[in-house]
Structure 1
């Protein structure tokens, strides 16, 4: 039987060992949290890159002598190649890991942005736009896959809301920064500034970001799946449709809201302020305690609510003839946006196993890119007035929200094998 001294010494060793384990666990949690914050920063600047282009690309194309058709093509070329880049990123992320794709995307996109200095006519600009969009498409699916795999299961909804706040912040700051800097210097100065930041983030990622996907690869269930799986799973399809319609409505707003504002006798600055209101309200919802609702309610309910509120706000915009009412409508749209974005992310994350989230996010953000083009393109092709465009889009969103609540087919337990 051990004496009292040996027992006390053993107890001391156990306590010391527990302290070390707790300290290591605490340090590990802080490190993981720091890395998530860093990836949120990457998400911000990847969308910042997108939004800074909006006010300057048309004038830049015209300054190179582009005809109206080529100017429109130059603007749309980025979204076209970005869609390809998103899908490519998804496959590479699942095969090579999110870390490698993320770092490569940052460094390559930063380099591509410097190529705008070499544009000498419309055709060279088109080629650069294609390369830029393709390489920039690598970043976002890899970043969101990294975040989804790093987050605790019970906090994935809140995590999606926080990432949405960074996207909204980029939507507010990006165009304003771009417009101010381009008016005082040039369009290439804006693009070069973004290039420097992305290159710096790429270098810092190599130094400070841990390739967590490689560490957890052994824990993943490597089940081969076909593309058909993503379009047969009800939750994944809802996420894709939600992403498409979210950006479809954004495309309609970008096209129709300035026309509506001009018809009411106000200038384009007012349009920018209205769009900022929606972004500010969305961010307030994202970062407030409201974001906890995404971890307590099923995503299908928050998705339907968000889509309905967005649709209703667009219908109200079509009826509004006072600028004050438009501000209220855009605030309402911001609330709907804030509920829809985390919902579609949560649907995707919970439906797709970690080993295949890269491909899922690749398709997801491909639908994002297509939605922007389709929003302005479809309403323009139908020759709708501003009010008619808002009514059409509002009804589409409300109809989709109702459809999302219909009884779902049985969930696919395991992906179909190829």
Structure 2
């Protein structure tokens, strides 16, 4: 491999390969820009323990899964669906020669329910595990039981940029932790606290125009949801973008073709402003970005035991998420980040986001566990055990709906 092609993850790859040669579990903490998502599966493909089986890698979002598969395929001189393929909701690109399958978290659950031993696969890789979606926590718990009861040889690798590695290592039976520093260019940070009566879209639009004046390249803007994306876009159109600057949106509800357009490089001599939700926070590089504007907010689902309903709440992001977002500006060259909050407020942000498992409606989880043959979550190993009261309420609801029998089956 030419030196220019080397990535930081290559420095620790021998250690990672050795850990999975001599054991079945490992934790990889690799900073943004290390190359873990696209380098690790290809390196593991040459391992002797794979014995003709395939690799399965989880990504938290459809766009990230498709992008990772396409990037790895290009590095082999192929198209997605040959050696590297993917499975996401409503779209599958795998073929008879596919050895690496990149899937979203819900797809893994379906695959486990259909084949608990995952006989066709030699390893499951959990990428960006720090996002702690309910489906990823469930997938890891099911894989741990599968490996314990059915597949002692099944390798499990948990990867993340920001993760409490010791806790994950303990869950994986004392698995070795491998650290990679990552490649990050310097990113200058500007704090722009919002006024008490100001509107988010106006503050975001003003920061975007400042970023376009002061920084080369494209601008990635993090906003909590589609409504804020639409209003910020309207504000930018009223204020006027510089000539040759395109406005793009990026959120999970968009058609995949439009998502691809948002992350693709701009034609020479032009720039783009991408208004995005947290979909662009990790596992995904938006080509050309040298500036980030971060509203510092995320919209998260919260389940209310009192009403039995899930509602979306807008809340400040964690420091880990803010650092991930800031890092998007320094992937390919020095960049800058405009934060729409103050330094004092930053110090009071929670260090990590609350796992979805602790606040979500657990009815889907209870139904999956019942299908798996588990009536008590304590039968599985979890990074965070599902809250007992919320789980009991979920089971009661499922019984009233006729989805569960009285004995929990």
Q: Give the TM-score normalised by structure 2.
A: 0.24
Q: Give the TM-score normalised by structure 1.
A: 0.24
Which is strand-richer, 1 or 2?
2
Which is helix-richer, 1 or 2?
1
Q: RCO higher in 1 or 2 (8 Å CA, sep ≥ 6)?
A: 1
